[in-house]
Amino acid sequence: MATRHELKRFRTNLADELDSAALYDTLARVEKEPARRAVFAQLANSEREHANIWLDKLQASGVHVRAHRLSAKTHLMRGLIHTLGPSFVLPALAAAETADRDKYAHQPDAAQLSADEQRHAAVMQAVVAEDLQRAKSLLAVRARRHRAPSAARPAVEAEAWHKGIASGNDLRAAVLGANDGLVSNFCLMMGIAGAGTSNKAILLTGLAGLIAGACSMALGEWLSVTNARELARTQIAKEADEIEHAPDAERRELALIYEAKGIDPAEAQRVAAQIMHDKQKALDTLTREELGIDPAQLGGNPWSAAGVSFCLFSLGAVFPVAPFLWTRGGAAIAQCVALSALGLAAVGVFTSLFNGRSAAFSAWRQIAIGLIAAAFTFGVGRLLGVSMS
């Protein structure tokens, strides 16, 4: 008979697997590309198979298992998939799979499940990188352990995954942009309110903080993307020059990259030599494989990035400003705190999508940190207001 601790673990594992299955089912329904849809459907079936293992363990212990209720985080992610599409949320899902890939590592009765979870993380990484053939191959291997990778392979794959997350996680950037606007303007307005200034002065300060902060964020994003594009162009030009003047060295480098991916050395040499016959194809391949740059994107459009940054910062900054538009005095301050806390909770729930923590924990942590920061600036404003009066 299982102990109370084991039963709790079985229930947690069952809930996690059913939540994951629901997410992959949603992705399979929404995805329009047949190859990716098939990958998501196989992942959903695999997660349900895992769930049945924990369900059987609970039932074998005489536990009546109620119908599963999806978590708030899962409902939120499914809503984002339907609203924004799979591609927007896939980096966050892949990051979550990577964070959870070792969750069964210390559970002695889940050795095979641990191998499957490791494989699921690799599959999602491949899907984000649009390497669908690799994803299908990984899914096809269920009972066989991964062969030991070469020394170079982990570094190459880890670096590629790092670059994919850094450049592709639009959801994370959106949440943090809105959080910047909310927290900075909330603290600014509480500092002014603490100094005992009038309702009109507080409102004007909040609106000025919204506009100034949004403009600053937009300019910073424009500069960041523009500089990244210019650096990418410089690196690509240097790579083209190396292909032109040192083709043998570049061929060897390309062969080593393929060897690091697990290809037989002789086959890697053959593929690299074939690619190098076409200089443009060689440049495109080396740009993607060695530099981690998509030549078609080069880091995105700086103007659209600036516009999105401006809008997201403004969205967060409007929360603390809004109450001063319809009320004044203590009531306005109280509503400002309440509305800002609601916004902080929403940010916390969204951050739970990629930090591996529960939605409730992330929401309360975000509220606590934001309120502490606002209380500090309110106190500083009160001290300065008294000393200068």
Query: Is residue 316 within 8 Å of 210, Cβ to Cβ?
Result: no
Q: For 332-354, b where at least 16 C-beta lie within 10 A, e where not — what string?
A: bbebbbebbbebbbbbbbbbbbb
State the pLDDT at residue 111.
75
> The domain 4-146: what is its CATH number?
1.20.1260
Strands of 252-368 (E only): list them.
none
Measured CA to CA, the distance from residue 215 to residue 217 in angstroms comes to 5
Res 1: pLDDT: 66
More confident residue, 352 or 133: 352
For range 120-136, the mean pLDDT: 71
Segments making up each domain of the chain, as ranges: 4-146, 170-222+302-388, 231-289
pLDDT digits (tens, 9 = 90+) for 246-278: 888 888 888 888 787 778 888 888 888 888 888
Q: What is the pLDDT of residue 135?
A: 62
Predicted TM-score (pTM) of the model is 0.63
* CA–CA dist 361, 268 (Å, integer): 48
Structure confidence at residue 146 (pLDDT): 40
* Span 148-176, pLDDT tens digits: 333 333 333 433 334 443 434 466 777 88
User: What does the pLDDT look like over 222-236, one tens digit per residue?
Assistant: 998 888 888 878 888
DSSP annotation of 149: P
Greater confidence, 377 or 247? Answer: 377
Non-local CB neighbours of 73 within 8 Å, separated by 6+ positions: 19, 349, 352, 353, 358, 359
C-alpha span between 166 and 160 (Å, rounded)? 10
Q: Are 242 and 224 in contact (CB under 8 A)?
A: no
Geometric angle at alpha carbon 59, from 56 and 65, rounded to 5°: 105
Say which residue the tokens 């050795």 belong to: 111
Of the given ranges (253-257, 287-291, 340-344), which has the lowest mean pLDDT? 287-291
- Phi (first) and psi of residue 131, to 5 degrees: -95, 75
